[in-house]
A and B are shown apart, each in its own frame.
Chain A
């Protein structure tokens, strides 16, 4: 029996097309995973603030600026007035500090680019994690060595759950730490 063109299309071309489409999708999906999760995201900030300089070299405690991290849901990005505690005197001649002073004097809030973000329907609480002894670096990476803040860990639900389920592996420095809760209302409400 002579093979028709239709047979050819159905038996050869269609499966190949479907395979190519699926493969392309799958590859893109896996390759772009990191980017979609925001890994490596490191946008330019309105002021070139260096955590490496402040937290690393000068060893200012994280909580000098992120004051609420042990008390509240929010770690809090400091107000401009917090910066001005030092910078009314320190390094006032530097261009970035001049920028900062301008923001302060004009009473404008600094529009920092957000790096770490969980969706609106997630009610993450900083205080319970920090007071349980989990180090900031476990989620935010080695901020002390970052000139410009970069996202190094994924902030998806699965990354939350990985840690909640296997705290021994994820935060080995806390031997006593029990598993985290897994029920929905812990984060969603």
Chain B
């Protein structure tokens, strides 16, 4: 029972011996859970074995025909070799080419490096030359390759007929009618776009406005930094909140901010943050406090976490100011006497000890600490935080060399209200959705969709059909970002370039080219290079002269395309002292919370929902709840009790614009009376993959928010009829043990310590491990002849791992891992080769979270090998546990015998099964990595340590007649890891950097007692907590 564990934990807390548990059912000792444990891996019968679908029948007929045909053909026929007719210069068969470009899926515009094989893009990584993202890229960027080959993309322009059906139409005809509509437009022409980062696109829209002077441009993002920037402008006078030097911070206080997960450029934030988590510079360890209502990625990585409803953050900051004033006598230019930190902490049951630590840390580390308010908090909280940072001298951590840059600003909700009123009054002739989806994104209560009906001509430029294209008269199919030209400027100091890596797969055109065609009129014939030329001309005329380059333009242009970025010397506007005048709007008495609060959070995987048809992202488990394919209402246990709901029960949420129903998921560590819901789900018009995944949030949002556009207070929440099953991975692969037995520690799955412990005794973990060591006899006899030459190994630094899941998507892409679908995830049949395990410990209300990437450990004594009846899994002399697909007969003995549960079985041919052959569409053939076999049903598979990359290094070594260099191999997850937590190399290369990690004092093997001798070392996590506590 839960209470028992809580008390047990209290006893053991001092000894730093937390009980780890994985899921809720485990905690409740649910009979269903134990049943599930027993069923794990035993279930194998396909549910639909009896029914024969039309598809199966046709396959059967086809197979019979093929068999009959095969009997008559020449079996010696080996097919054909079809070489190129004219050899493309840059292609070398069997070797990848890399192209630098820019990702345009969110306002961050990170640099990407696209790997192509024989002319088709197969993987997206970060561009190492890019000054911000530095070779790393988030999950959305990595998964964008799947968007390119999405069979549900629009295949050409469409026109709505009078009966309301979309008809295919040629570009010329569509453009002709639409240009006529533009020419005849006597009222406003509204262009609605996402944030524009491209200088050239802005110029183009300017030309469009010149040609059609009635044009107005509106731009929006579902999540933006407007509030933070506005507060900054009031406090300091410059336009943008500065970039934070996270790497220099000793103490970080995140207030309702997920800066490691979704806010700002999280790839950069994560990298800089992790620089302060280097086990070799343990003196420089930073300390992260997170004060939040939801359970975010940042909160899960915090050393101290406090639960607080977002509307109380203001009181909290003011109380901090008061307390700092009390302790240090620093003058505060605003009256904070009514805010007492002590009574605040008591009133909202914050741990007094933690709060005291926080205040003392801020004072002690003034100038080296940063308080960071989340973008969804209201302006006055931001101003108070700015003041707090100012009086602590933390302005030193503001980057004064480079700052954000905005090519074009965003419109406000007020602008959109004005537009909607105009639309309703018939004051708008044409609406153009420029790759935006306002029908889905804008708050429902603004009435945008309804107002759109009053507009005569609506055109949507989009890659695939969406809610906005559905209500349009014209749909212009646009190119994917990997088929497009462009540029971007998000910061001072550099421009970044976007270039296509493949010709348009369908009859689509780049969105800018479509507009350009309208501007130029139909007299000029459309050419594929229309926008390319425009972009080059713009660069030659406006940007090239400002860069003072000595190289002639053509060569300069090829150079910057090669690099993907071009640097520019730019000075930024300096900002002075804090302006006390900004404090005038701040209330001097505490705000009171009332009722429920709804927090709308940017979905970690799906973002604002643009990529809802992306199966990799849908199937990426949420790093904490481990839920796939859905969003949900996350509430605390107490709140669930109050509402009398359990997991999967529906609740209705009413923020003032009608009831909306969401399934409940009880999230340990969530603040009471707070409901957190992710964005990006519940797309109504989307391809086959995103159909029916999750619930919309636009119904909760309001165009006139009282608190903040993403946080709603005083919300009515009640139990609703029915249930909805969300599937979670967290209860997969669990042990049949009670959590009270504390197996996760005892069996050596997780070891953790504190910085103080480590500083006192570098060998503390080793000693601890020795103490508890159970030595099992080795499974196999010694083979001294093995592992003489190279031996591959991996080390994962848990201090740096933030559980972001970038590695999962990178692995999917590199190793041709299929999408399996929600039903299969529900049955525990995920296929991802690397997973992020998440463990809670200490208590339900204020849990400590531990995460651990888990992949094949490539054990020296692999228990999977001796049970294989057909020797399909064997060991190589370089220490790899080999899995041979063409030998496997699918007994699944190996998976059963694997202590780490990292083997994945193809219960079906998922390519065929998922969404009725979705992944077998011909287009999908192009996405596969040709160096990795595409597995079919009945075959076991697992992490291979990217054997294809190892073999490439081996081949390179043979070709160059040298020895293999371990560190030349960069495995896919390692390349993707934004914090470089994953290291890979040759264990026998004694002098290499990698070996330092392999033999680190903090290194341990998971499940050491089994004596499998794994080749993956985990560096134990050190929590930077205070010594008094431990």
Q: Chain A residues in contact with chain B, CB under 8 A?
A: 35-36, 38, 41, 43, 68, 70-74, 76-82, 103-104, 107-115, 117, 119-121, 123, 125, 127-128, 131-132, 181, 183-186, 188-189
Q: Cα distance A186–B92 when bound, in Å?
A: 22
Contact B95 A79 (CB under 8 A): no
Chain A residues with Cβ below 8 Å from B84 are 79-81, 109
Contacts beyond the supplied A71-B95, A183-B877, A186-B951: 11 A-B pairs with Cβ under 8 Å = A73-B955, A74-B93, A79-B86, A121-B933, A127-B958, A184-B874, A184-B876, A184-B882, A184-B887, A188-B884, A189-B951
Most buried by A among B81, B92, B95, B887: B81
Complex contact B933–A183 (CB within 8 A):
no
- Chain A residues positioned under 8 Å from B958 (CB to CB): 127-128, 131-132
Pick the residue among B81, B85, B93, B954 that contacts A114 (CB under 8 A).
B81
Residues from chain B with a CB closer than 8 A to the CB of A119 are 886
CB A161 to nearest CB in B, in angstroms, measures 14
Contact A72 B94 (CB under 8 A): yes
B79 touches A114 (CB 8 A): yes
Complex CA distance for A109 and B884, rounded to whole angstroms: 35
Within the complex, the shortest CB–CB distance from A85 to chain B, in Å, comes to: 11
Can you offer 17 A-B residue contacts whose CB atoms are under 8 A? A68-B92, A73-B955, A74-B93, A76-B94, A79-B84, A81-B85, A81-B86, A110-B82, A111-B80, A114-B80, A127-B955, A183-B878, A185-B880, A185-B944, A188-B887, A189-B933, A189-B947
Give chain B residues whose Cβ lies under 8 Å from the Cβ of A78.
Answer: 83, 87
CB proximity of B112 to chain A, nearest CB, Å: 25
Q: How far is the CB of B96 from chain A (nearest CB, A)?
A: 10
Contacts of A188 in B (CB 8 A): 882, 884-887, 933
Expressed in whole angstroms, the Cα–Cα distance for A113 and B875 within the complex equals 38
Given known contacts A117-B78, A128-B959, A81 and B95 CB-to-CB distance under 8 angstroms: no
Would you list which residues of chain B between 56 and 113 have a CB under 8 Å from chain A? Answer: 75-87, 92-95
Q: What residues of B have a CB within 8 angstroms of the CB of A35 in the complex?
A: 76
A30 to chain B, nearest CB (A): 17
B34 interface hit (Cβ, 8 Å): no
B931 contacts A by Cβ under 8 Å: yes
Q: At the interface, is chain A mostly helix, strand, loop or mixed? A: loop
Which residues of B from 887 to 904 have beta carbons under 8 Å from A?
887
Task: Find the A residue at minimum CB distance from B75.
Answer: A36
Q: Return the contact of A80 from the options B75, B76, B86, B954 (Cβ within 8 A).
A: B86
Docked-complex contact A121 and B886, CB < 8 angstroms: yes
CA distance A185 to B961 in the complex (A): 21
B959-A41 in contact (CB<8A): no
Residues of chain A contacted by B708 (CB below 8 angstroms): none
Please state if A79 and B885 are interface contacts (CB–CB under 8 Å): no
Q: Does B330 have its Cβ within 8 Å of any Cβ on chain A?
A: no
**Cross-interface CB contact of A112 among B77, B80, B874, cutoff 8 Å:** B80
**B85 contact set on A, CB distance < 8 A:** 79-81, 103-104, 107-109
Q: Output the least CB separation between A183 and chain B (Å).
A: 4
Q: How far is the CB of A181 from chain B (nearest CB, A)?
A: 8
With A127-B959, A128-B958, A131-B958 in contact, do A77 and B83 touch (Cβ < 8 Å)?
yes
A12 CB to closest chain B CB (Å) equals 34
- Which residues of B854-888 have CB atoms within 8 Å of chain A's CB atoms? 874-878, 880, 882, 884-887
Query: Nearest Cβ distance between residue B177 and chain A, in whole angstroms?
Result: 35
Complex Cα gap A101–B183 (Å): 51
Contacts of B75 in A (CB 8 A): 36
Docked Cα-Cα span, A87 to B92, in Å, equals: 23
Q: Mark B933-975, 1 if CB is under 8 A from A, else 0.
A: 1000000000010011001001100110100000000000000
Residues of A within 8 A of B951 (CB): 123, 125, 185-186, 189
Give the complex CA separation of A78 and B77 in angstroms: 21
Query: At the interface, yes or no: B522 with Cβ under 8 Å from chain A?
Result: no
Note all chain B residues with C-beta closer than 8 A to A185.
876, 880, 882, 884, 944, 947, 951
B76 touches A76 (CB 8 A): no
Find A110's partner among B78, B83, B882, B948 (CB 8 Å cutoff). Answer: B83
Contacts of B82 in A (CB 8 A): 109-112
Query: Across the interface, which residues of A come within 8 angstroms of B876, CB to CB?
Result: 183-185
Residues of A within 8 A of B955 (CB): 73, 125, 127-128
Distance of A160 Cα from B75 Cα, bound (Å)? 22
